[in-house]
Amino acid sequence: MDIDAGERAVDALRPFAEKATRPEVMGGIGGFAGLFALKAGKYTEPVLAASTDGVGTKVAIAQALDKHDTIGLDLVAMVVDDLVVCGAEPLFLQDYIAVGRLVPEQVATIVKGISEGCQQAGCALLGGETAEHPGLMEAGTYDLSATGVGVVEADAMLRPDRVRPGDVLLALGSSGLHSNGYSLARHVLLDIARMPLSGHVEEFGYSLGEELLVPTRIYARDCLALAAETGVRTFAHVTGGGLARNLERVLPEGVEAVIERNTWTPAPVFKMIATIGRVERAEMEKTFNMGVGMVAVLPADDVDRALAVLTARHVPAWVLGAVRRAGAHGGDRVQLVGEHPRF
């Protein structure tokens, strides 16, 4: 690794990392380990939650466009939005960036996005690692991942066993593809359709590249606000596997969920991929979020309050479906029924 370039990268990213902090952070950038002090007396029975993730092949779009200021937001979202599923408040995050050749300005731009994401989520960027892999990765390419840690009181933890028949599914709208399904999206739009990333797309109102780089929505603080104001049972973060598979992960035995497709219209990018690539509906719903980035499961009596909280926080939300007792016939535990309007 170019040691001088590494030192320049640390100097360049330091101002951004220092903005993403919390009072519990001890020390600063440059130590061998990040230090975070859980305040004595603040918690009764704290449970730590941890999550690790990356952004997949969405990095290929950022690299093709030489635009690296938003991919860090995606990284934070993928990690912290997994933490809040159990009700955990994100405390800190550590990133790992692997590059073919270290360009300090590029790394600093990536970290700036990570810092902005941490600030949106209310967590600290506690440290990280940048590794140069010459001979293994080409110059100009990179990949990134992160691990986040959160905390939740044991008696406030959101769990599948809290879900009851009669509960309502509330959708929190996605900002687009988020960070899943990019291998298929790139194959259809770039390889089959040969659409230029810089080309204007009328359905979007801007270029294809801009659409594909729309950052993943960070729901962390919105979910925590919802948990504080309502009796949310649990959340499901809709990532790889789509709505059905991710919702099934937070359902207890003995219940099933019904999702009504007619309650929303997926964004144009989803229809474009399905039409151009002749992708079957089952594959679309398994690969993409289809416009729903998070699902809240909550008592029916709390729906109006939950919608008011999310509206005040500028999060698009709607009633997506319901939970019911599992039928004797068996079958899928999450069923999508009906048709999307204008899709």
Single-letter amino acid code for the residue at 132: E
Q: Which CATH number fits domain 3-25+44-156: 3.30.1330.10, 3.40.50.2000, 3.50.30.40, 3.40.50.300?
A: 3.30.1330.10
Q: Which helix (H) or strand (E) holds 283?
A: helix 281-287
Distance, CA of 341 to CA of 338 (rounded, Å): 9
Task: Assess contact for 283 and 219: CB atoms under 8 A.
Answer: no
Phi and psi of 65, rounded to 5°?
Answer: -90, -5
End-to-end CA distance of the chain: 50
54: its two tokens:
């990356």
How is the beta sheet containing 234-237 ordered, strand by strand? Answer: 234-237, 292-298, 168-173, 317-325, 255-260, 334-337
DSSP lists the bridge partners of residue 172 as 294, 317
Residues 187 and 278: their CA atoms lie apart, in Å, by: 12
Strand locations in the chain (E) = 25-26, 35-36, 46-54, 89-99, 124-132, 142-153, 168-173, 200-201, 206-207, 234-237, 255-260, 292-298, 317-325, 334-337
Sort 26 into a burial class: Cβ within 10 Å, 0-12 / 13-18 / 19+: exposed
| CA-based nearest residue to 180, from 267, 239, 244 | 239
Three-state SS at 338? coil
CB 145 within 8 A of CB 256: no
Q: How does pLDDT run along the chain (343 residues), one tens digit per residue?
A: 555 555 665 665 567 667 778 888 887 666 788 888 888 778 899 999 999 999 999 999 999 999 999 999 999 999 999 999 999 999 999 999 999 998 889 999 999 999 999 999 999 999 899 999 998 999 989 999 999 999 999 999 999 999 999 999 999 999 999 999 999 999 999 999 999 999 999 999 999 999 999 999 999 999 999 999 999 999 999 999 999 999 999 999 999 999 999 999 999 999 999 999 999 999 999 999 999 999 999 999 999 999 999 999 999 999 999 999 998 666 789 999 999 998 8
* Residue 9: HSE in the Cβ half-sphere, 13 Å Cα cutoff: 22
Other Cβ atoms closer than 10 A to 190:
17
Homologous superfamily assigned to 160-337: PurM-like C-terminal domain (3.90.650.10)
Q: Round to whole Å and give the CA distance between 120 and 314.
A: 14
Maximum CA pair distance of the chain? Answer: 66
Can you give the residue ranges of every domain in the chain?
A: 3-25+44-156, 160-337
DSSP state of 38: P
C-beta atoms surrounding 95 within 10 Å: 26
Which pLDDT score, from 0 to 100, does residue 32 have?
80
